[in-house]
């Protein structure tokens, strides 16, 4: 019996207590505080509530404030008009499980089902997916970390006990004003029907929030959405760069924006762009892929383009080349299932035979299912190499250093993946980590070496001599 209790203690510690502790103390793999000079974030849990959420939305509109609502799926299902109003008025909507139940008390599959069910409810009402998740009571279990590929876990930097009516509006306002400063992520509740809360507590919260928003106006502070705060924190690193470097980067990104408009590139996740794509006829020589499929000239392909602004931000906020590589891999893991689904859902894209791009990444894309082929010698290969090296100098924060260190290794190559393979590994499983793929048979040392190789700038050249990547 003693041994059984000891094992239960070990399992519960690794499953719940340790993950919860490191996220609260160290902020590991969660977002809980931003940066800036004039902005803070108001976040609201447990709603929508038919009595208090409309009053809250009216108050936010009065002060031109934006908030982030982590909604309980069952409440959203009952009050779709409030979800639609949140969306229409420019607020961000996140997930707070389908029922307000601790993740410690549910199996990983049950938690996932709750999240996906709530995501579908939000999508059915607003037409948009959400990428933000806050577990009830902020309680993280070990498997919640795996959701970072699809959802950003958001906690908070300050909470005030507003779920208790006895706190009172005056005391609550005093507590909130003491934390009213840039970068703060405030936790509040617009519903009092959850366990441990008082039904009328949101009434006191609204009175206190009115006072706080008045004071925020006087201090020239304003409330922004969590996604805007995350972007602002990522962009803060740009201040370390010289003005000339930033000017060149902005000009280059302007050119990229024009290109995307002219050639009508689509974006896999418009709210957080990482991969753009378009349907094109393949114009190169016939090539045989790893699975035996032959890509002929004239076959329709999906040409991939990385979002170079996103790459710039990833690069400038990475602690090392391996850290940058990990971020790129995680982003690809998140994007490919969505891309596979979009290709299946759009009739005009169903005839595509393969994904295609040209990249300076020499190793690493195989783990996602791409075949890698040399570019045929000629003017296209030479101009592509020059173009991508120029792009590396501009977009990559340490691009010039990488060129000086390993210019001979920066050789652009074709990356191709059959659409059938994309659908097999991503549309069904939602992850390339299929137990039957070669990637999962690699040992840890090979994986680390692969990460180092992927850390080259993933900028690639498309069929028209453009700035895409794979």
CB 151 within 8 Å of CB 116: no
Nearest partner of 268 among 310, 318, 216, 239, judged by Cα = 310
Is residue 374 annotated as part of the catalytic site, yes or no? Answer: no
Q: Which of 79, 189, 276, 313 is catalytic?
A: 189
* Residue 372 phi, psi dihedral angles, 5° rounding: -115, 125
Whole-angstrom CA distances from 223 to 43, 228, 234 are: 10, 10, 18
Catalytic residue, candidates 45, 144, 190, 299: 45
189 flagged as catalytic: yes
Q: What is the DSSP string of 214-259?
A: HHHHHTT-EE--HHHHHHHHHHGGGGGS-HHHHHHHHHHHHHHHHH
Distances (CA, A) of 88 to 40, 104, 128, 260, 385: 21, 34, 12, 27, 46
CA distances from 252 to 361, 407, 458 (A): 21, 22, 16
Among 12, 98, 398, CA closest to 21: 12
Neighbours of 20 (CB within 10 A): 20
Do residues 103 and 144 lie in contact, with contact meaning Cβ atoms separated by under 8 Å?
Answer: yes
- Report the catalytic residues: 45, 189
């Amino acid at each position: 019996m003693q041994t059984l209790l000891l094992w239960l203690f070990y399992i519960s510690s690794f499953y719940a207590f340790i993950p919860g502790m490191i996220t609260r103390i160290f902020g590991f793999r969660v977002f809980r505080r931003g940066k800036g000079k004039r902005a803070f974030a108001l976040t609201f849990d447990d709603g929508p509530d038919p009595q208090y959420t409309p009053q809250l939305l009216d108050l936010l509109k009065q002060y031109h404030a934006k908030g982030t609502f982590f909604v309980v799926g069952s409440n959203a299902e009952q009050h779709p008009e409030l979800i639609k109003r949140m969306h229409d008025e420019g607020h961000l909507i996140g997930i707070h499980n389908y029922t307000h139940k601790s993740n410690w008390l549910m199996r990983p599959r049950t938690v996932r089902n709750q999240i996906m069910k709530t995501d579908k409810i939000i999508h059915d009402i607003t037409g948009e997916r959400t990428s933000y998740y806050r577990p009830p009571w902020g309680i993280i279990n070990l498997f919640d970390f795996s959701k970072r590929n699809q959802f950003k876990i958001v906690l908070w930097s300050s909470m005030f006990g507003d779920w208790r009516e006895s706190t009172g509006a005056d005391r609550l306002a005093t507590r909130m004003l003491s934390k009213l400063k840039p970068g703060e992520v405030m936790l509040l509740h617009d519903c009092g029907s959850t366990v441990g809360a008082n039904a009328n507590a949101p009434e006191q919260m609204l009175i206190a929030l009115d006072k706080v928003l008045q004071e925020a106006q006087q201090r020239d502070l304003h409330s922004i959405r969590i996604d805007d705060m995350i972007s602002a924190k990522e962009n803060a690193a740009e201040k370390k760069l010289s003005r000339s470097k930033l000017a060149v980067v902005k000009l280059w990104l302007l050119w990229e924006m024009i290109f995307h408009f002219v050639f009508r590139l689509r974006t896999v996740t418009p709210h957080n762009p990482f991969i753009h794509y378009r349907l094109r006829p393949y114009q190169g020589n016939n090539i045989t892929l790893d699975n035996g499929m032959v890509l002929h000239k004239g076959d329709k392909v999906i040409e991939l383009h990385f979002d170079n602004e996103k790459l710039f931000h990833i690069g400038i906020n990475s602690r090392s080349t391996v850290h940058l590589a990990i971020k790129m891999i995680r982003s690809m893991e998140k994007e490919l299932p969505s891309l596979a689904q979009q290709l299946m859902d759009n009739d005009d894209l169903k005839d595509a035979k393969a994904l295609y791009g040209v990249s300076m990444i020499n190793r690493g894309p195989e783990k996602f299912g791409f075949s890698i082929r040399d570019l045929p010698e000629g003017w296209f290969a030479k101009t592509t190499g020059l173009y991508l090296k120029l792009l590396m100098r501009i977009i990559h924060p340490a691009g010039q250093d990488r060129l000086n260190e390993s210019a001979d290794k920066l050789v652009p190559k074709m990356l191709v993946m059959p659409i059938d393979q994309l659908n097999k590994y991503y549309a069904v499983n939602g992850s390339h980590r299929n137990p039957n793929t070669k990637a999962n048979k690699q040992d840890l040392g090979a994986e680390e070496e692969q990460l180092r190789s992927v850390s080259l700038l993933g900028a690639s050249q498309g069929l028209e001599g453009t700035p895409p990547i794979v």
